[in-house]
Structure 1
């Protein structure tokens, strides 16, 4: 008797512990894991495994959250291939930090982490992240990995389309991302304000929330006339926001 594969879940976060947001979005995220007390692995590759970033994660998800917190460093990797696979596939949540999206993808591929994350995703692990940690899951993204804001037609492709983080807070983000979508440099996608979050199930948007008043999630698509349409998604306000 065959069984249906588990649903695959992915979340784009517009804030969290790294921004000092000690509350709504991270609590909401843990509530979407497949078990009540999930194993949560922080992957700080995009920041070069920055020590301060890791410390903030441990402070936020250690004793102060109902979870088992762990960190996966790659710049000083300790696990061999077999142990790395076992570790990644045992996680309930993989939380990817911000930094340089292009560098993150390159390092993951060298270590084979991209393949392991796909396997974990297919088994029901919740994939999520903020900034570069949101960009990496899509087919392409809007990034400052190369200095100036530009498009990056590269990613793991777990989420169809493209992603743009920091949509409302960084100068030039909105216009630059809309231009990339209008010209076809990036496929249609999702723009996330700082303070908002979106959950996708099997590639489809199933929930959008805000932990900051006024923060939104948008669907951005070409309008067929050389421009774009920008459709705000209804967002539920989180308790404590």
Structure 2
């Protein structure tokens, strides 16, 4: 079973608990992949601090490493996990580095093996064909993803006010594929590329499906189940 869970921006305790539940394991091994934030030590420290409060085994895989620092391959590390959590940050930079290291292919192997792939923001966009991203200077732009899931992804849909009007306009003009948009704590869970669950931590944050019908963009609010609190 191929499993993928994405959110519009959240990876707090409630989100990580839900991710852990998707593995079907009592004490799952979850690897933090902070490539989009340049392997930020602050983000890594917050990850390990959060993990202390949860029944998980936390790991981290940096990409900014040397052969002296790491004696196992990326593949050996990542394919032994139960879930892999990609951070938000710069989608374009992360995908470029993953492709240079062959990590894009390893992530696909992980997905096909049943390891749950997950992430907020950049960690959500990266799995789709493309997404609306702030990875470049000045303006939001379209970035190409890893093509695990069909269509486009837009995080921070209402938090960042310019995202919604740009996305609706671009879908209608066919400058970006139809797809999904997520508010911060809203999330989508896919099994074998099929959307199975829509979740959120509150009634305010919503998930949207964008389609193009008769040359006009259609924005559908999808019913979401509320996740339990932290």
Shared fold (TM-score, shorter chain, > 0.5) = yes
Unaligned runs of 5+ in 1: 1-6
Quick check: 2:172–2:217 contact (8 Å CA) kept in 1? yes
Partner-residue secondary structure (3-state), 1:32: helix
Q: Distance in 2 between matches of 1:32 and 1:217?
A: 19
Assess if the C-alpha contact under 8 Å between 1:16 and 1:26 holds in 2: no
What TM-score comes out, normalization by structure 2 length?
0.94
Is the Cα contact below 8 Å between 1:151 and 1:177 reproduced in 2? no
Q: Name the residue aligned to 2:6.
A: 12
One of 135, 150, 153 as aligned partner of 2:141 = 150
The reply to whether residue 206 of structure 1 matches residue 196 of structure 2 is yes
After the TM superposition, which of the residue ranges 167-176 and 181-190 deviates more from structure 2? 181-190
Structure 2 residue 196 is matched with structure 1 residue 239: no
Native 8 Å contact 1:169 1:194 kept in 2: yes
Instruction: Give 1:76's match in structure 2, choosing from 61, 65, 76.
Output: 65
Deviations 1:86-123 (A, max 9, x none): 11110111000011111011000111100000001000
Distance in 1 (alpha carbons) for counterparts of 2:114 and 2:30: 13
The superposition leaves residues 41-100 of structure 1 with CA deviations (integer Å, 9 ceiling, x where unpaired) of 001101111111111111112x211111001101124446x6321111101110000111
Gap runs ≥5 in structure 2: none
1:215 to 187, 205, 211: 205
Which string of whole-angstrom CA distances, capped at 9 and with x for unpartnered residues, describes residues 132-165 of structure 1?
010100000000111211222x111111111000
CA distance, structure 2, for counterparts of residue 199 and residue 168 of structure 1: 20
Give the alignment partner of residue 176 of structure 2, picking from 186, 189, 193. 186
For residue 230 of structure 1, report the CA deviation from its aligned partner. 0.5
- Residue 40 of structure 1 is matched in structure 2 by 30
Tell me the matched-pair count. 227
Contact 1:199–1:205 (Cα < 8 Å) also in 2: yes
In structure 2, the partner of 1:66 is: 55
**Structure 1 consecutive aligned stretches of length 4 or more whose deviation exceeds 3 Å:** 77-80
Shift of 1:14: 2.5
Q: What TM-score does the superposition give when structure 1 sets the normalisation length?
A: 0.90
2:105 is matched with: 115
**Quick one: distance in 2 between partners of 1:95 and 1:180?**
29
CA RMSD after TM alignment: 1.5
